């Protein structure tokens, strides 16, 4: 699909710049040009596509659906699926949380949404597709959805309502089923330009991180020997997955820069399961989000929430390493 791009990269590096095919610099530069253009194209495509899908599932409709329909246990999975198509912005997590709880949606179901929405987002999917191909992307997306579902069920079983802040409890007591009289209605043709514009804005925002990440990855690709990491962080090292996950939680803001580097680490021998677990923790859990959630949850509840999700990610990491 991207052969044409490889031709352009080859032509530019070997013919225009006249670098030797054997030099490290040429290999690194070629890798950089090919990868960055390919990833940005895929990223744009996915963000635009998700924007279109999302315009059919506005958040108010999602809430009304979840609070009205009896889903007999499938509500966790449904919330998780809605999380995939809803673009996530950490500054919306509190309004979203309150909005769900106010609509009478159980805490666990709200958590399912809150886990999957950042974890399986359009930027992560685009980067995964560009860096790891379709198979790994599907594994990431499907396991992300299941992870959100399972975490939500666990959170519900733990019965943690008493750990919400007083403000949230007050809102919970006044919870009502019919809320949100205002619906932001726009026709599809009038939405399309803004979806396009949003996609451009998102790309602009992540562009520096992606480029720097790919540049560092390109350098490492050219200079680190094949299989370099296998000795140290092989599949049989039982501590690799938990350590990777714990390291990843504080790294949120640079997720789009970290993924290209991880791809090179995988190429050089780090097991893919450990890498996926690491990236799930980078993308799905973040300190800024935890700070914002303090308004609605006590620190203890945030701790339990992050603990449950981390544990689920670690377990999935072991499963990936075992089956892949």
Partner 1 sequence: MEIKILGTGCPNCLTLEKRVRKVVAQNEIQADVTKVDDIVDIMSYDIMSTPGLVIDEKVVSKGRIPSEDEIKEFLTN
Tell me which of 7, 11, 56, 167 binds partner 1, using CB under 8 A. Answer: 167
Hey, what are 199's tokens?
A: 């996609």
Q: Is 203 in the site for partner 1 (CB under 8 A)?
A: no
Considering only the stretches 53-61, 66-74, 217-225, 237-245, report the one whose residues sit in contact with partner 1 under the rule CB under 8 A. Answer: 53-61
| C-beta contacts of 174-179 below 8 A and 24+ residues apart | 174/102, 175/101, 175/102, 175/103, 175/104, 176/102, 176/103, 176/104, 177/67, 177/68, 177/103, 177/104, 179/99, 179/102, 179/103
Distance CA 217, CA 156 (A): 41
Assess 179 for contact with partner 1 (CB under 8 A): yes
Q: Which is nearer to partner 1, 28 or 255 (CB)?
A: 255
By CB under 8 A, name the one of 19, 41, 57, 60 that touches partner 1. 60
Contact flag: residue 294 with partner 1 (CB under 8 A): no
CA atoms within a 13 Å half-sphere pointing along the CA-CB vector of 190: 4
Q: Rounded to the nearest 10 degrees, what angle do helices 3-10 and 24-55 cross at?
A: 140
How far is CA 322 from its chain centroid?
23
Shortest CB 31 distance to partner 1, Å = 31
- 194 in contact with partner 1 (CB under 8 A): yes
Q: Any bridge partners for residue 297, and if so which? A: 164
Among 5, 8, 49, 171, binds partner 1 (CB under 8 A): 171
By CB under 8 A, name the one of 25, 74, 89, 246 that touches partner 1.
Answer: 89
- 95 vs 250, which CB is nearer to partner 1? 95
Could you tell me which stretch among 127-135, 136-144, 155-163, 192-200 binds partner 1 (CB under 8 A)?
Answer: 192-200
Residues 90-119 within binding reach of partner 1 (CB under 8 A):
90-92, 94-96, 98-100, 102
Helices then strands, counting H and E runs in the chain, come out as 14, 0
If the CB atoms of residues 93 and 149 are measured against partner 1, the closer one turns out to be 93
Tell me how far apart the alpha carbons of residues 303 and 278 are, in angstroms, rounded to a whole number: 19
Which stretch, 35-43, 176-184, 264-272, 309-317, contacts partner 1 (CB under 8 A)? Answer: 176-184
- Our CB check for partner 1 shows the closer of 92 and 161 to be 92
| Helix, strand, coil content of the chain in percent (nearest 5) | 75, 0, 25
By CB under 8 A, name the one of 162, 182, 239, 322 that touches partner 1: 182
Q: Closest distance between partner 1 and the C-beta of residue 127, in Å?
A: 20
DSSP state of 163: G
Nearest 5°: CA angle at 114, between 108 and 116? 105
Quick one: tokens of 67?
């609070």
Asked whether position 68 contacts partner 1 by CB under 8 A, the answer is no
Stretch that binds partner 1, among 32-40, 83-91, 270-278, 297-305 (CB under 8 A): 83-91
Q: Which residue from 41, 211, 243, 292 is in contact with partner 1, where contact means CB under 8 A?
A: 292
- CA dist 262 and 255 (Å) reads 10
**Phi, psi values for residue 297, rounded to 5°:** -130, 150
The binding site for partner 1 (CB under 8 A) comprises: 58-60, 63, 89-92, 94-96, 98-100, 102, 167, 171, 179-180, 182, 184, 193-194, 198, 205, 292, 295
């Amino acid at each position: 699909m991207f052969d044409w791009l490889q031709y352009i990269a080859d032509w530019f590096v070997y013919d225009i710049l006249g670098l030797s095919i054997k030099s490290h610099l040429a290999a690194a530069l070629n890798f950089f040009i090919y990868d960055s253009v390919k990833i940005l194209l895929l990223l744009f495509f996915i963000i635009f596509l998700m924007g279109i899908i999302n315009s059919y599932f506005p958040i108010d409709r999602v809430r009304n659906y979840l609070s009205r329909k009896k889903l007999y246990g499938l509500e966790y999975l449904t919330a998780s699926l809605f999380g995939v198509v809803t673009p996530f912005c950490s500054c919306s997590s509190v309004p979203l949380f309150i909005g769900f709880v106010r609509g009478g949606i159980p805490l666990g179901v709200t958590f399912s949404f809150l886990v999957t929405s950042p974890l399986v987002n359009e930027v992560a999917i685009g980067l995964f597709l560009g860096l790891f191909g379709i198979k790994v992307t599907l594994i990431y997306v499907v396991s992300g959805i299941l992870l959100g579902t399972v975490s939500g069920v666990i959170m519900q079983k733990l019965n943690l309502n008493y750990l919400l802040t007083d403000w949230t409890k007050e809102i919970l007591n006044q919870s009502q089923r019919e809320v949100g009289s205002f619906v932001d209605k726009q026709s599809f043709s009038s939405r399309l330009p803004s979806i396009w514009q949003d996609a451009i804005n998102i790309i602009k925002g992540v562009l520096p991180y992606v480029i720097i990440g790919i540049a560092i990855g390109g350098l490492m690709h050219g200079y680190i020997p094949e299989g370099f990491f296998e000795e140290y962080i092989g599949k049989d090292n039982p501590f690799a997955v938990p350590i990777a996950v714990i390291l990843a939680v504080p790294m949120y803001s640079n997720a789009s820069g970290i993924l290209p580097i991880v791809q090179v680490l995988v190429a050089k021998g780090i097991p893919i399961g450990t890498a996926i677990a690491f990236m799930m923790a980078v993308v799905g859990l973040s300190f800024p989000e935890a700070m914002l959630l303090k308004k609605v949850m006590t620190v203890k509840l945030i701790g339990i929430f992050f603990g449950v999700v981390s544990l689920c990610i670690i377990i999935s990491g072991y499963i990936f390493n075992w089956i892949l």
